[in-house]
Amino acid sequence: MKKSIESLIISLFPKRCAYCGKVIASSRFMCSKCENELPRISGTVCRKCGREKDKCTCKGAENYFSSIAAPFYYDGCVRHGVHIFKFRKGLRNYEAYSLEMADAVKERFGNVSFDFITEVPMTEKSRKKRGYNQCFYLAKGISERLGIEHKSDVICKLYETKKQHGITYYLRKGNLTGVFDISDSSAVKDKTVLLCDDISTSGETLNECAKMLWLHGAKEVYCVALALTLYKKRNNKHI
């Protein structure tokens, strides 16, 4: 079912830049303008939150995951591309995004041997409404590029929550307690897991999912996201 939706979408629409939506040659993933303007995360990054040192806001706080890798900040053309990605016409963007994410995983976690990759889930109701979980496709793309087994639906989301960005730190924490569960403990026990999300705000969603994996016996959890939000001091929020 998932495969048929994906191939139908790919055959129906011309190839577009995964960041601005401009029609491009079928061999490319992005236009030259976006290639130059991508808000890439580069150089020395914080081991915990994945942001460059001068943009780190985690202050080294301990998490249930070991580290997070992401190619971009959630800004500029990446923000635009992700918006399109959440609609069917932009689903194909996962090809471009998973390539960048796979490169970030290789660069940051090159010495880690993962047992499987899984994604941050949506509630069944939300998934049916959208028709797919976009994080499923990101994990699938990374799995294919890096040869890591993709186990979908390992984590389940039990009920709907408010969007993580745009609410305060304390609300974010309470917002997620008890929201996730593990559908199959035996799949998780003693495993090194790569957990995939699209946008990470302060890492609370990833941390809550990692906590459930850890409670069910996972050996270690690493995270990969397409983009990390930037913290703006002016209004005390991640945007």
**Letter for the amino acid at 12?**
L
Q: How far, in Å, CA of 11 to CA of 33, rounded?
A: 25
Q: Which stretch binds Zn ion (CB under 5 A): 20-28, 65-73, 187-195, 225-233?
A: 20-28
In one letter, which amino acid is 55? K
- Shortest separation between residue 53's beta carbon and Zn ion, angstroms: 8
**What is the three-class DSSP state of 2?**
helix
| Site pattern 30..59 for Zn ion (x: CB under 5 A) | -x--x-----------x-xx------x-x-
DSSP 23: B
Residue 230 engages Zn ion in binding (rule: CB under 5 A): no
Between 48 and 172, whose beta carbon lies closer to Zn ion?
A: 48
If you ran DSSP here, which 8-state letter would residue 149 be given? P
Q: Where are the beta strands (DSSP E) in 103-182?
A: 116-119, 155-157, 180-182
20 binds Zn ion (CB under 5 A): yes
Cβ proximity to Zn ion: between 56 and 146 the closer is: 56
Taking a C-beta distance cutoff of 8 angstroms, is the pair 129, 87 a contact? Answer: no
The answer to the question of residue 156 lying near Zn ion (CB under 5 A) is no
Binding residues for Zn ion, per CB under 5 A?
17, 19-20, 31, 34, 46, 48-49, 56, 58
